Amino acid sequence: MSQALKTSVQNEPLVLSYMDRSGKIAIEQVADGFGMSKGQLAQTAGLARETLYRSERSRTVKTQGRLREMLEIISRVTDWAGGKEQAMAWSGSEFCSRCRDGGSQPGALGLGSASSA
């Protein structure tokens, strides 16, 4: 299993700190970084539990995109929430409710484009 790249750059987007060498989000690292199981991470991101346990499904464009959006949102609200764990707790409830309602794009949370972070 590939290790996520960890750098000491302070203003680095959170999503980059959880990318592996191939540019994919390292799911195990994200779950560990937030003190969650893969199942909890899947639920928070609005994905089926099995999606993150099956490597062929966890590396699809849709799954990676959903995780990237979630990490970008967390990155944007970390200071406001008081830390990345608090941001994850807040974004989990917001992100999941928006995903269920069909609005999984970052703009649905009033945060604008994900690329403008």
DSSP the chain: -PPPP----TTS-HHHHTB-TTSSB-HHHHHHHTT--HHHHHHHHT--HHHHHSHHHHTSHHHHHHHHHHHHHHHHHHHHHTSHHHHHHHHHHHHHHHHHTT--SGGGGT---GGG-
On the question of pLDDT at 97 being above 90, the answer is: no
Whether 107 has a pLDDT exceeding 90, the answer reads no
Pull the structure tokens for residue 68: 């990237």
Question: Beta-carbon neighbour count of residue 21 at 10 Å?
Answer: 10
The answer to whether position 117 is within a domain reads: no
Q: Is the pLDDT of residue 41 over 80?
A: yes
Q: Which domain holds residue 88?
A: 14-108
In a domain, 113, yes or no: no
Q: What is the pLDDT of residue 10?
A: 54
Q: Rounded to the nearest 5 degrees, what angle is found at the Cα of 49, between the Cα atoms of 57 and 41?
A: 100
Confidence band, pLDDT 50/70/90 cuts, at residue 88? confident
Instruction: State the average pLDDT for the chain.
Output: 78
Per the structure, the count of domains in the chain is: 1
Q: Is residue 77 part of a domain?
A: yes
Phi first, then psi, for residue 19 (nearest 5°) are -90, 140
Is the residue at 19 inside a domain? yes
Domain assignment present for residue 62? The answer is yes
Q: Does residue 52 lie in a domain region?
A: yes
- Asked if residue 3 is part of any domain, the answer here is no
Q: Is residue 39 part of a domain?
A: yes
**pTM recorded for the entire structure:** 0.70
pLDDT, average across residues 39-60: 94
Q: What percent of the chain has pLDDT over 70?
A: 68
C-alpha dist (Å) from residue 75 to 10, 13, 56, 57? 12, 7, 27, 25
